[in-house]
Amino acid sequence: MSKIQINYVFGALKEPDVEALMRIGTPQQLHVGDQLLTEGIHHDAIYLVLDGELSVSVKGRNTAIAYVGKGEIVGEMSLLESQPASATLCAITPVTVLRIPRDALEENLAADPGFSLRFYRALGMLLSHRLRTTLDPEKVYQDAIDAGLVVHRAHPLNAETSVPALMGGVVMPNARFYIRNHFQIPNLNAADYRLAVGGLVRRKLSLNLRDLMQMPSQTFFATLECAGNGRTKFDPPIPGEKWAFGAVSTAEWTGVPLKEVLDRAGIESSAREVLFRGADRGTVEDSSDTIRFERSLRLDEAGDSGAILAYVMNGEPLPIHHGFPLRLIVPSWYAVASVKWLTDIELIGQPFAGHFQMEKYWYEWQRGSEDAREPVTRLRVRALITEPNQGSEIERGDITIRGVAWSGMAPIERVEVNTGGAWHQANLTGEPSRQAWQRWELVTRIDASGPAMLRARATDRAGRVQPEHAEWNRLGYGNNSIQEVAIRVV
């Protein structure tokens, strides 16, 4: 058998220790879907994973709670003869394991106290690491509620910022920044983190956080918006996360320009796209296969986007909910492009056809007898009213209406507000930007008592005007219809 590569967890083992395990163990092959261990069943061996990956699941949870791979030991409960397996392990790729009988292992450990000490130290490191692999979903859920987010789903966590909270400063505090997840939140260890850059490059890179932080950095404000923001306002209703208006927030991001990393790797002439892979993973509808969250950009898109690999958000280390320790930020694009928990960048020679690239995040329409589709890319022009709130009672006379506006195509040119008659131009505050929202306000008068409807529409410098009603599309993306806020004047 060829010599295996042992990951950092087994740094406490010496080469003779590994050779001893190899001598007493027996290789075993697993196909996708095969179970290695079954929760509640007693086993008489431990297993060293030589290649491939397995999911870890427990009763009462619909999704995997963790994943284990090359260089890790599983089945450690068999070392306690009275204890059954604490979880079910299932191969999600072809897997090779080394089956190590408990009796033979105990005999070798008893014969060499040094080996025994190193083995149990390494096993302790492994178990500690495994406990940190994913965050407790219940704690994450409670944290979101405590921060005042509007939680739509706990597993995985999806929560939006309340519209009144959007009327704060230039940036949204980290705890109140909306959260969008497709899978459970992974909990990566900064000390062991590596960003792998490979594929069609002249020099493969493996960068830790220190490497990245020592590179030239860039800081800017950028607004991130979920492509499904406003989905609940489409009629007829559309399946999917029930976002109202608050799946949007702005932060100040600091990180390494993507171009800096790609230049260091050197792009081969045959490369066509840059593929970004996150550590989050799980299953999607109509498939039992486990996949990672992956998205790609064409080379020209990646080069022109001004993207960074961010490790700081609003002056603080990137929070775990938002991609710690490293997240791609693609300004002016819908946030699906800004891959969180970034672990791999791969240069590829053909268009990427992954689930979140080709099956999701497309505008899809029925045009007569023809189907039409277009990829979700840059933010559509939009204005939101953040003050007064829906259902507010306002005294007659002078009234101040405030909000935010943004567009991924060009800075905002103007925002107009309608209180029931003509459109009035609002005052823009702050610096114009294509990357971040712009605040606006209008002071006007409403003298008539009774119900009133406030509306706001934005126009960007590329000439794009926010529509009365965005065109309905099958997956419910990009709804930038004019918002209506009903108030009562007293």
pLDDT for res 57: 80
Q: Where are the domains of the chain?
A: 8-131, 137-360, 382-489
- Provide the residue type at 299 as one letter: L
pLDDT for res 108: 87
Query: Which architecture characterizes domain 8-131 according to CATH?
Result: Sandwich (2.60)
pLDDT for res 166: 87
pLDDT for res 9: 43
> Does domain 382-489 match CATH 2.40.30.110?
no
pLDDT for res 7: 44
- Judged against a pLDDT cut of 70, whether residue 3 lies above it is answered with no
Residues facing residue 329 across a β-bridge: 308
- Judged against a pLDDT cut of 50, whether residue 8 lies above it is answered with no
- Provide the residue type at 280 as one letter: D
Tokens, residue 343: 């672990």
Which segment, 58-72, 147-161, 371-385, is predicted with the most confidence on average?
A: 371-385
Q: What is the mean pLDDT of residues 224-249?
A: 96
3-state secondary structure 321-369: HHCCCCEEECCCECHHHCCCCEEEEEEECCCCCCHHHHHCCEEEEEECC
pLDDT for res 301: 96
CB 454 within 8 A of CB 388: yes
Give the mean pLDDT of the chain.
89
pLDDT for res 82: 60
The CATH fold of domain 137-360: Sulfite Oxidase; Chain A, domain 2 (3.90.420)
In the chain, the percentage of residues whose pLDDT exceeds 90 is 63
Tokens, residue 315: 């002056």
Q: What is the mean pLDDT of residues 156-180?
A: 90
Digit-coded pLDDT (tens) for 409-448: 999 999 999 999 899 999 999 889 999 999 999 999 999 9
pLDDT for res 4: 39
- Judged against a pLDDT cut of 50, whether residue 343 lies above it is answered with yes
pLDDT for res 18: 82
- Judged against a pLDDT cut of 70, whether residue 11 lies above it is answered with no
- Provide the residue type at 372 as one letter: A
pLDDT for res 127: 61
CB atoms within 10 A of CB 314: 18
Q: What is the C-alpha to C-alpha distance for residues 237 and 247, in angstroms, rounded to an integer?
A: 18
- Judged against a pLDDT cut of 90, whether residue 154 lies above it is answered with no
Of the candidate ranges 87-101, 212-226, 252-266, 294-308, the one whose mean pLDDT is the lowest: 87-101
Read off the pTM: 0.77
- Judged against a pLDDT cut of 70, whether residue 5 lies above it is answered with no
Q: What is the C-alpha to C-alpha distance for residues 230 and 281, in angstroms, rounded to an integer?
A: 26
Q: Which is more confident, 114 or 418?
A: 418
Q: Confidence band (pLDDT; 50, 70, 90) for 188?
A: confident
Q: What is the mean pLDDT of residues 345-354?
A: 97
Pairing of strands 66-69, 157-160: unpaired
Residue with tokens 């005042």: 148
